[in-house]
Structure 1
Amino acid sequence: MPPRTSHGHSFICRSCLVALQKRKPSAQWLTRHPSSRTISSARRSGFSPEKEAERQRTLELLGLSKERRGDKFSVKYFEKKTDGKMRPLRDVDEFNRSVMDLDAETEARLQQLEEQLEQATRFTKIVESIYGKRGAEELVKRAAESDPDNHPSVLLPEHGWPRAKGTQCITHLNNMIRTVGRKTGGGALRRGRINALWKYYSLARDALRGRPDAVYREFWDFLWRHLAVDHDNNPNRMYHVHILAQDMRKVGVALHDDQQLLAIEADFVSGFRKEAVAAHKRFVLTLGTNPETFAEFWELGLRMYCLMDDVDRAEQVVKTIVESPYEKDPRFLFPLIRMYASKPETVEKGYKVYQQLRSDLGDSITIDDYDTIILYFLKANETEFALFIFVDMMVSETVDLRGVHKLPPSVGNPFFFGKWLRRLISDGNLQGAHNVLLLSMSKGVLPQAIHVNGLIGAWLRSGTADNIQKAEDVAWAMINARMQFLGIRKDMKNLAAFIRLRPTNEVWPRANLETFSLLAENYKDRGLHAKMERLWIAFRDAEIPPNSFMLNQLLSSYLQSGQGKHIGTLSRDLTNHYRVEPDPWTFTVLWQALAVNRLVEISPQELPAETAQARSLFAEMVRSAHIFENGIDLYLSRSILHSFRKLEDTTGLLLAYRALRHIFKFIPSDLVVMELQVGSMDLLRTAKGRRGLRLMHAGQQVESSLRQRHQELIASGQLKAGEELPLDARTEELGNILERFLENQITVPDGGDIQALLRETAMEMGFGGDEPETKTSTPGT
């Protein structure tokens, strides 16, 4: 209510009058015509006659009109400012202007709305220029459909459910539906969001079934659209459809034709085969006769009956499809071919159906079609029929191999079968490749070792016990074939020139270096040292020159079996005997095999001998420096440096670091610098132990040296103030920091000559008397 003033005058605030002006006039008011008094009053106030008439009527209703008979009072007008203070107004005209004037906040809001409208107009024109007017309308429609707030029937009422728990579940489900509507963007949901939607729907199922009248069709369509989407993000699609269709039937919601077909398939896939078949029979006269669903309905039935091995019904469905007047894709026969091929008594019928399919497709048959049908026969171990189809795929002219004992040259050669083997191995069909391998040998075609090695490698990589055993059996059969060949070759030296011996039952190709390498790597990885030794004996008997890979596998096997002390001698014997050049991996194994890296502790009496062995090994590396032309591995570099550190060979460590840096192109990292300064290869453990303060101090020294170098470069003009230290300068300075630290670690007895000590150590480490030059950049240089 408006307050009374102390002088008896009526008071009405601005907000009340504005609200009264917004009241919708009645029909009676709309039919009245303004009087002359109203028109003259309107001229004085600045309002239109209609608005002035409305204002006068409002004043009359409130009892505030000046011209009411018998009422003599005056009206004072006030305006409330934004700070809450009241300002008196002179007369009604000033009051009217005050009512019509907009404050700054309202004007800013109106301006913002105008800018948004202008931006929306520009965006609409851009969309129309790209997609056209119809395309733009379709995008707007799709965006509106994706927002559940535009479709209130998608959301469920959140009151009136039987129990509080049911109401809570409905609320959570509504919130999830809103989230899905905002996040979908017209595409498939992420897997996590689909799972969340299914979770909240599952929790609300009981409540929904208890009150079906509160759930509209749009809600079910919304769930179906997102839970039945065929996408990689929805791996449980069929189970979702099975449950969703079940709930829709229970609450009396009729499924659309496409939904009904998908529901039948989902029932079948989910294990409810009898229910799916029964549903399929119920819709024979509806979906089975509708031209729009005919093909999909009967092809679904064919797939189900073929998977159930119901030959009679499957053949009846095929007859129905063939005799129908509708257009059909001959590929609908794929399930029938698969069913026929799976049984020996019907495999001939399967091959005949394939021939009919190939004839119907003609030139439109694809490589994928051939691969699919070949796979059916290979899985059924009908490899010969698979060969016939593979020949049709690979050979342009017709080649009939039925009943042929000897394959024609275009087919009966290792290259033809090699192509097939490579194709099957790349597709991961290892059992099919094995069957093809056996078929080729049964046809008198000896495969090449490279193709069999590919299958052996694929078996070993699979990691399954059955495949690994197959790989070993085939590899050793190839090794025995080579041994038999070598034995015959030796026997022929003592026979006449015109006599030729041939191996009996030569069904496997002879093993080569790759065959031995595959087995050696597998034995090494599995720690089967006994089998590795047996393989090495066979390898020497096979008279195959080894390479560094085979050598490395043997050395690694010895290291894993705890026989590291023999590795150095074994390596030198093998490399000298077989003239095998070591590679970086060879030296990695050799450094790991040193006692200082194998044993927990070395007695002081053994240190001189171990130090000499480490220096000798480094000398071998220097002689093989050309194999490190692309730089040395960080792991190997760390092993070398820490080996000398643990041996407490300070001069050897300094020279090894200089050689690694200037000969082997080693770039020390922050990690290596800190490890050598602290004396540990595990900085994390060091930070938690007693040497944590030492690690922190070393880090501070490194940072201090880097800052000093940075300031020197700025002072010399090589860097501008504010520029960071370049990466190459930082790397160089880190190397110098480590070198200075290692130099300071060398202690020389009184009267000793440090240069003489370094020259002697350099001779032992293979530098020929001249250690690598130091390129240390001291501060200020």
Structure 2
Amino acid sequence: MHVFSLRRSTLQPRLFQQACRLASTSTRRIAPRNHRNKRLAARSSPPARPSAPVDDEEEEAVRWFEQDVETGATRRIAGNPEELEAAELRQKIAALEQELSEYQDQESDEDMLAAMEPEDRAKMEKALAVRNEQQTELTNGLNVSLDMPPLTVPLLKKFNMSLRRAALQPHSVARRKDLWRWYGRARYSIPALSSMIPKKAWQLIWDSQSVESHTNPERLHHMAQLLRDMTLVDMEIMPEQSLVLIETLLALDKNEEAVASWQYIFDSTSTPSEKVLALGVRLFAQNDRVAKANTIMMQLFDRFPEHDPRIIITLLSANLRTGRDETAFGCYVLMSQKLGEDMNMEDYDVVSLTFLEHNKKDYALAVFRDMMLRGSNKEVSEQFLGASGQNDAYEEVFKRMELLTEGTNDLKELNATALKALSALPRPWQNKFFYGSWLKKLIGMGQLEAATKVVELMYERGIEPDAKHLNGLIGGYFRSQVPELEDRGEQMAWKMIQRRLELSYRHRCIKRGEKVEDIAPSIYDTSASNIGDVEMPAHLARPVPIGTIETFNVLALQYSIKENWALIHHLNRMLRPAKLWLDTVFLNHLLNMIFNTYHDEKRLWQKFLNKAKHVTGGPDIETYNILWTAQLEHLNPKINKENKANTGYPSPRQLFGLMTSWYHSKDARARSLLAPDFTPEVFTKIISSFCLQKDFAGCLVALHGIARMYNAYPDPELARVILIAVANMSEAEPVTLRGRRGRQQLPASVARLKTTSKVMAELANRRAEAAAASGNHIESMDVQARKEEALNLLSEFLRLVLVKQNKNSVDVVEKEIQEAAVTCQLPGIVTGDKDCSNVVADLNLELVLRKEEEV
């Protein structure tokens, strides 16, 4: 997509703007996953991507360039040119508004009227009269007049002008900030200013600075300063302003001054107002003066019985801070009595959370029991909980029960708290939601026997566990690595799968109108030669829930760890009679089984093409990790004895293109979640595959594509992989070794590796000198800039290698890189510096490399 700037084309006719998206229309290659008749492999003519508005998450995918029309040279620029143009227009509009406000006087109005037609002039004169009358009414009495030295006269004029503008535009953030700025300057430079400010001007400044907004972060400091200034000149302070002063002092942690100010207001009147008493309760409660706060609260409720009882919560918190737990619970009882039917779910939540914050779980449980007694009836509870149905009401209660056990690491305490909370529930409310939370916490703590007892308790209470509950428990059994628990988990999983097969069989017979036979499909329906020596499980005493695809995944993970590939194959056979769709996790286990069992890359690739388009959720990073692992084995002549490098499996460019198309088929949110899964192991396997094929143009494109898509950059270990590959260019069959993060090549000649490293070092020195000459020292760059510099260093090194391979033809090299980018589904990608260090023009490095090779 090309975006042209009208402004730039007018002012700079030799330049134009174009937006190059990494997620361009030509990179959307992968077909929809749910269509069986579509192929997943990359095709030569990609489908057009439907246009969609770019949101904030896709902002990093738009990169802007400036191109010379005659030479075709391009350079990257920072920022959207349309946004830059809009910013310039906004600045011009602001300047015009400023100029208009400065020259808006009687003379300018007369000039405007003189240029108008008689009919329009009469209407405009009437409108101007109304405007002038309104402005006069707003600004009358605001002017500050003093006899001052000539140097301070302009400052006073600015202050008066800011008062006038704030009066005319009371809701303007700019006018509020401007007024405070000029008030502060005038107050600093003119000592007598406060005594000469009219009362109306004080009120205007107060109203302007007391606005509660995120655009007024210094509100409390400004109000405190205004109150001090008004007190110095004996300006009459309204009662509301006095209370604001106390709240301001509290917010600024000036507690002693706040207490003194409140006591002065309280003593100055025989009948303190409701607001003064309520503020006193809060003030003394926050300072942990509980007795004084309690006395003021009793006085408040005696004189104003209708006052909101929720003010008692502040006193409840103060009692908990000072260790008066029983008094705190008495505060809750008092608030509950005063609120009566008006006490809602949020009130219970606030009280319960207050007790939990101070680790008083017994009192929190008591509040929870009161809450459940208040809402135990179905109709009452749904209205009380704000739920639309009984299931929603269960969810609301379930969330609050989770809070009671949150942060508990002791098994006895957890079980005791959970059982107490469970006993508070009416019998119809005891459902699987709470038990699931309890199970999850126990499994996470490694208390598998306790979790098993919770499952037994569910059965005793007549609540049948869901499959997700037992799947989590089975996974805990497998992770324990205790043989007895592993056997128990395996038996439970196979029993759940058996129930799934029986249910599917009955549904199939009913749908076909056939008689349901006693003998249903079984997990035993296979020959012993296919499943090995593992004994199939026996029935359990308790009925188990029907298995899900997650049950298959948990079993398959266990068999993958044990490398029992035959049973994974058997699980795959059970999917069809169980009427379950393959998901991403099981697809990965299946591909891993095929790869480790047959070591046949062609068979693995065909299985991927046949299965991936029907998979729920589609492939993921782990799927492509398996494919790149097979790619390494496919390309390595020492492992692939039959030399099948050109048949049956896609090339690294094609596989990377498929992976790129899959990436661009996802939305912005899904892409952001892929970066953590793209591990250094996957990165190394991709680059090693290109190096094994000696495809350095594709390697260059892949490096930049990975950086843009997954925000992953090469590290020194990956750079060494590339150096070794360059050093082994002349080897027909390079020696290989499986390294820590992928299979890496070993140099046949240590001398060539040393020479290649010297070339890389010389490039790094030249780039550092060039950066220092432009004022950008590499040592002072931030982390992201250093990563980009390392990537560009590798890019220039690979370009030098490609120039050597193509007999110093730079144009041929760039054409080859563009062809690799198209095949990798990244046609518009920028692949770093073409020749930052002028190495292509100065081929001394290349000659040194060639001479040492001859030696």
TM superposition score normalised by structure 2? 0.44
The structure showing larger relative contact order (alpha-carbon pairs under 8 Å, at least 6 residues apart) is 2
State which structure, 1 or 2, has the greater radius of gyration over its C-alpha atoms: 1
TM superposition score normalised by structure 1? 0.47
